[in-house]
Amino acid sequence: MRVPRHALHDVEVEAEEITEEQKAATPVSVDWSKKGATSAIKNQYKCGSCWAFSTTEGIESSVFMATGKMLDLSTQQIIACDSRDGGCDGGDPSTALKYVEKAGGLDTAKDYPDTSHTHGKTGNCKWDKKEAVRVKSWKYAVKPCSRGSCTHQDEEALAAAVAKYGPLSICLNAGGDFWDNYSGGVLPNTCSGAARDLDHCVQLVGFDKSGAEPYWKVRNSWGPKWGEEGFIRLPYGKNACGVADEAYIITAEISSFVNESSVMV
Q: How far apart are CA 177 and CA 35, in angstroms?
A: 31
- Domain assignment present for 49: yes
The CA–CA distances, whole Å, from 48 to 7, 81, 218 equal 14, 15, 18
- Domain assignment present for 169: yes
Can you tell me the mean pLDDT for 119-138? 95
Catalytic residue among 47, 50, 150, 201: 50
258 has a pLDDT exceeding 80: no
Residue-number span of the structural domain to which 192 is assigned:
25-255
Is there a catalytic annotation at residue 200? Answer: yes
- Domain assignment present for 7: no
**pLDDT tier at 259, thresholds 50, 70, 90:** low
Q: pTM of this prediction? A: 0.94
- Domain assignment present for 261: no
Instruction: Determine which of 2-11, 133-142, 213-222 has the lowest per-residue pLDDT on average.
Output: 2-11
Catalytic residue among 81, 171, 173, 220: 220
Can you tell me the mean pLDDT for 7-27? 83
pLDDT digits (tens, 9 = 90+) for 146-156: 999 999 999 99
The pLDDT of residue 189 = 78
Can you tell me the mean pLDDT for 203-207? 98
CATH number for the domain spanning 106: value is 3.90.70.10
pLDDT digits (tens, 9 = 90+) for 51-75: 999 999 999 999 999 999 999 999 9
The pLDDT of residue 265 = 45
Is there a catalytic annotation at residue 259? Answer: no
Catalytic residue among 200, 201, 239, 241: 200
Can you tell me the mean pLDDT for 234-259? 92
- Domain assignment present for 208: yes
User: What is the tally of structural domains in the chain?
Assistant: 1
Q: Which amino acid is at 63?
A: V
